[in-house]
Structure 1
Amino acid sequence: MLSQGSKLTAVLLVIAMLGSGVAGATLGGSPADAKPPTAAATTPSASAQDGSGGEQVETSCGATPPENGSDPDSDVKGWENGIWYDESIDVNQGDGVQQGERERIVSRTMARVEAVRCIEFNQSVPVSVISREEFRNREANRNASEGLRKFDNGKFEALFLVGEDEDSLAVQSENRGTGVLGYYSPQRDEIVVIAESAEDLRIDELTLAHELMHAWQDEQFNLSGDELQGDFRDEVNAISGVVEGDASYTETLYERQCGANWQCLDAPERGAGGQLANIGVYLLKFQPYSDGPAFVRMVRNVGGWDAVNALYEDLPASTEQVIHPLRYRSDPPTNVTLNDTATGNWSRVRAPDRPGYARLGEAAVMMTFVYPYYHSQGQTQIIPANEWFDYNQSGNVSTFDPLNYESNYSTGWDGDRLHVYENRNGSFGYVWKLAWDSPQNAQQFVEGYERVLKYWGARQVGPNTWRIADGKFADAFYVDTDGRNVTIVNAPTVEGLSEVRPEVGPVTVTNATTESGDANATTTEA
């Protein structure tokens, strides 16, 4: 599973991206000042202020190094390949990291991860460093089937993140090329650290610590195994809440030791890495990095590291359970059913080796309401900025749990199912059915959803029926509420709604002017 690199730097990348298109007042400072600090700049007291819990960071899991620094008689936690976790090493990355230096950096970082996470590595992990340009080229050359492309486009269109005229897989590839700082490959048992340029092949110690945790997870729990794979976006994010949450929380504990008890390598200078293709898509995939560490910390505080290790055998079933940790194991998602009733002109889009339908989850629903904030450069706040950002005691965005993926419009999610359709003319539609905990939760979602429709230029043209005449989401929408269930039907035209879902029935258009289109129809809400 790909990791999006150092959590701290990834958060600062998010902040930099906010600042690039959004009024900086919401960020507690000028975007130009949001630069990644070196590892030594963060102290335990600063971490406590940042909302990461303030608990004492122990290295008691690491054996006590002898005063002369001699090697132990056998492998112990906190010592790897002849180097103790508190040992100084002779490294100069000024001219790039050489092979011998790389081995010393990796060994000491492994020892330090052992000390703070109470684990033992049973084998060394190869580490390579590549330039961002090379990584981008690798991402751009990924192949995907046409069925997967159509299906994926339908999912992100339903969330109002990627338009029908865009390629959602290309958007995600471009985001990864910009935002990923390193990754662990279970297939090759290798860590790859990404440097900004071929001339500056240096190792970020925190990124390395994060990815070493993935290597340990793979060693212990098999990251490639079916148990840690997800078929749905919601399931993938939920599993990542543990996998990335554990690695990110360990990285936080590691970072607190830097400058306090350990001498750590200065982090390489990093810019924003380029412009993200779509920050809404990026932030959907960022959710495990924001909520996961807090989820893992709660489990550790209750049951220690043994309880955290047990999570890999009893994973969260949905993003809802990671966003709301008290619902873990107590609120499984409803298995939403949805029959195909589309007419003969329409057929289901099915991606190869996929279930044939999507479950998007609470985190994805939340992004539908958050994305207008970024698209409008902060002018539209369907979710108020002070509810979306988590601020620490200093008034800055927290680096431990920076974003709040719950709202009145998305809380109460209990399950969903999305079917994507294509007609003979190559046009697309979808049916998205969502189950909620109560009729009140369903009504709150519809209230927020209608605000999103209006933001993208929709006008109500009939009972429960909306039409966006222009723009990348130009389509017709039917929104039906039945108790605690909401069903959204999408088609290119109002007439097409009953073709995709005959239950809609004929719609009498009551506002014909909307159907003719209005290029200035977007309503901006303060």
Structure 2
Amino acid sequence: MMKNCVHLLILIGLSVCLMSSQAWAQDAEPAPELAGEQAREEALLSAASEIALQVAEIRGLELLSEIPKGVKDREELRTMLIEQLHNEIPEEVFVAEEQMFKRLGIFEPEVNYRQLMLDLLTEQIAGFYDQSAKELYIMVGLPEQLQHSAMAHEIFHAIQDQHFDIGELLAPFTSQENGDFALARMALIEGDATVLMIDYVLYESGTLPAGRALSVADVPMITATLLEMDTEELAAAEGMSAPGMMGMGESAVPSLTESVLGSAPRIVRDLLLFPYIEGMRFVLRARANRAWSDVDAIYSAAPVSTTQILHPERYFAGELPIDVQFDAEEALGGYEPIFDSVLGELQIRSWLATHADRFEDLPDPSAVAEGWRGDRLLGYRNEAGEVVAVHVSSWENEDEAREFASAQVAIAEARYEASASHQSGEHGESWCLRHGPEDDGERVYVERWGELVLLIDGAPSSLGENGAERDPTTYLARDAVWGSLARVPFEAALAARQAEAELENEVSAEDAPASTDATDVE
């Protein structure tokens, strides 16, 4: 599974049916007495088997084998997921990403990232499909309607896994290497399961006729509504209380803002809801006027960027991102690398929106982020715990690049209440802003070179007696970036990564100890 926070959020997203803990507390049935507990568990397992057959028929994907199932209470599921969190994501990954997001102003200084994720696990549990163990865990104590829709969603993950191999689908890049790629793949997985869940609820209510190849995607009025509602409206919509959706009817509407998720930083909310909501919209558009077999075919050439999810026309046109590669470690003497990933359109939009929520007169985040073609964010930290972020992004044209660069300058000026100096050159332009004490300050440096934008945030700065900069770190890093920069077509980067993975697997197989037949052991 994943080893980074789009990273952890993807781990949660694949495994957990999300629900409002407030609504669960209001609507949950009383815990069964011990005498009836076994009967209740057997009834749940029996219902799950029936729902699996219904899901397979509704979606038109055969159940290839019986799905192993188990029943757990809420605390047992929570314990399992927390244990998986500890096993999958080392403490240093949380620390590095927290420091990077704080450096960029995406997190407030008081945010404890790991604790936030633990709190989300505590609050948002309704079911669990363990992809590595291929086992479904059902939670006792839910109202029947929610129980069945949650089962349908998670059971479909098992069917997806049988047909398309979820692990293989996510495998080419880890989320640490390319968080945008991982989010895009999760959007297909979760979006498909969310549409299935809606279809299941509509079939159960009699809105869609059973036994016919109909879907919510075939009902223009409902589909149009789902495509037009914004994220907050969808998350609070009546009847959308299954996996990944926070609403559970009118009683749950306030819980979105009062819950851990509702009060979490914007980027956490965006990352957690994106696979479900935008993934659902992607699948609805992909399914419109087509058959489910056409959606199945997408798994063999799945989306590779959140841009393709947000703008399905780009996916169907075959538009692929650019893989941006560079290094600044040698120029940042005394700093060690701690972070290396691709943000993509979704995270860049969330980054910009975080500041637009705080400061006035910033440009529209969605409009700015829409011109994204590729990016990479590197993070470096010294022994004192000081962090430098270096980000390079590629845009559709110079105007789009200028718009993003200008947004970053406006953010820096608002954050640090200082003005940036501006210079124009033959190939582009640059801005530099300094803040902090004269002998122990920091710089924010933004440079646009054609359709490329470089941001260096947090490089040390020290002024001499005449006010001139004495610390060359910013400019050494700038030269190192441009000197090492490469823009690789995504298909070439993907092929190279797959070749590396195959080689790693071959080496691992050669190094593995030979198996011993049990009959040879005394």
Question: TM-score range with shorter-chain normalisation?
Answer: 0.5 to 0.7
* CA distance in 1 between partners of 2:298 and 2:199 (Å): 19
Deviation at 1:161, TM superposition (A): 2.4
- SS of 2:419's equivalent in the other structure is strand
What is residue 278 of structure 1 aligned with on the other side? 265
Maintained 8 Å contact 1:6/1:210: no
- SS of 1:156's equivalent in the other structure is helix
Over 3 Å counting, the alpha-carbon distance change for 1:98 and 1:226 in structure 2 is same
What is residue 318 of structure 2 aligned with on the other side? 330
Please list, as runs of the form range in 1=range in 2, the aligned pairs for 1:248-263 lying within 5 A after superposition.
248-260=194-206
Over 3 Å counting, the alpha-carbon distance change for 1:150 and 1:468 in structure 2 is farther
Does 2:54 correspond to 1:148?
Answer: no
* TM-score between the two structures when normalised by the length of structure 1: 0.64
What is residue 455 of structure 2 aligned with on the other side? 488
Please list, as runs of the form range in 1=range in 2, the aligned pairs for 1:118-517 lying within 5 A after superposition.
118-141=60-83, 142-143=86-87, 144-145=89-90, 147-157=92-102, 160-162=105-107, 166-194=111-139, 204-225=147-168, 228=171, 230-231=173-174, 232-260=178-206, 274-276=259-261, 277-328=264-315, 330-340=318-328, 342-343=330-331, 345-350=333-338, 357-372=340-355, 407-463=366-422, 464-467=431-434, 476-491=443-458, 493-495=460-462, 498-499=472-473, 501-502=475-476, 504=478
Over 3 Å counting, the alpha-carbon distance change for 1:503 and 1:348 in structure 2 is closer
* CA distance in 1 between partners of 2:373 and 2:132 (Å): 35
Maintained 8 Å contact 1:346/1:421: no
Deviations 1:368-391 (A, max 9, x none): 1223466x5xx868577xxxxxxx
Deviation at 1:339, TM superposition (A): 3.1
Deviations 1:250-300 (A, max 9, x none): 112112223235999x99997669423434213223212111112112222
Deviation at 1:484, TM superposition (A): 0.8
* CA distance in 2 between partners of 1:224 and 1:8 (Å): 19
Please list, as runs of the form range in 1=range in 2, the aligned pairs for 1:14-53 lying within 5 A after superposition.
none
Maintained 8 Å contact 1:342/1:501: no
Maintained 8 Å contact 1:467/1:476: yes
* CA distance in 1 between partners of 2:289 and 2:171 (Å): 23
Unaligned runs of 5+ in 2: 2-10, 211-238, 243-247, 423-430, 463-469, 480-522
Maintained 8 Å contact 1:372/1:381: no
* CA distance in 1 between partners of 2:190 and 2:471 (Å): 40
Deviation at 1:435, TM superposition (A): 0.5
* CA distance in 2 between partners of 1:409 and 1:420 (Å): 23
* Paired AA for residue 194 in structure 2: S
Deviations 1:389-419 (A, max 9, x none): xxxxxxxxxxxxxxxxx71110010000111
Maintained 8 Å contact 1:5/1:182: no
Deviations 1:230-259 (A, max 9, x none): 321101101012111111111121122232
* CA distance in 2 between partners of 1:414 and 1:233 (Å): 15
Over 3 Å counting, the alpha-carbon distance change for 1:424 and 1:372 in structure 2 is closer
How many residue pairs get aligned? The number is 397
Deviation at 1:168, TM superposition (A): 3.4
Deviations 1:193-232 (A, max 9, x none): 456xxx6697621111111111011111222226555321
Unaligned runs of 5+ in 1: 17-33, 39-90, 351-355, 385-405, 506-526
* CA distance in 2 between partners of 1:489 and 1:191 (Å): 45
Higher mean displacement: 177-186 or 224-233 = 224-233
Higher mean displacement: 362-371 or 252-261 = 252-261
Higher mean displacement: 111-120 or 490-499 = 490-499
* CA distance in 2 between partners of 1:7 and 1:37 (Å): 20
* CA distance in 1 between partners of 2:78 and 2:17 (Å): 22
Maintained 8 Å contact 2:371/2:400: yes
Maintained 8 Å contact 1:9/1:36: no
Deviation at 1:448, TM superposition (A): 2.9
* CA distance in 2 between partners of 1:165 and 1:116 (Å): 47
* CA distance in 2 between partners of 1:420 and 1:446 (Å): 19
Deviation at 1:363, TM superposition (A): 0.5
- SS of 1:225's equivalent in the other structure is helix
Maintained 8 Å contact 1:477/1:497: no
* CA distance in 2 between partners of 1:286 and 1:229 (Å): 23
* TM-score between the two structures when normalised by the length of structure 2: 0.65
* CA distance in 1 between partners of 2:152 and 2:296 (Å): 18
* CA distance in 2 between partners of 1:346 and 1:289 (Å): 42
Maintained 8 Å contact 2:16/2:127: no
Q: Which has the higher helix share?
A: 2
* CA distance in 1 between partners of 2:443 and 2:73 (Å): 45
* CA distance in 2 between partners of 1:124 and 1:92 (Å): 30
Over 3 Å counting, the alpha-carbon distance change for 1:492 and 1:315 in structure 2 is same
- SS of 2:418's equivalent in the other structure is strand
Maintained 8 Å contact 1:368/1:452: no
* Paired AA for residue 338 in structure 1: F
What is residue 496 of structure 2 aligned with on the other side? none
Deviation at 1:4, TM superposition (A): 3.6
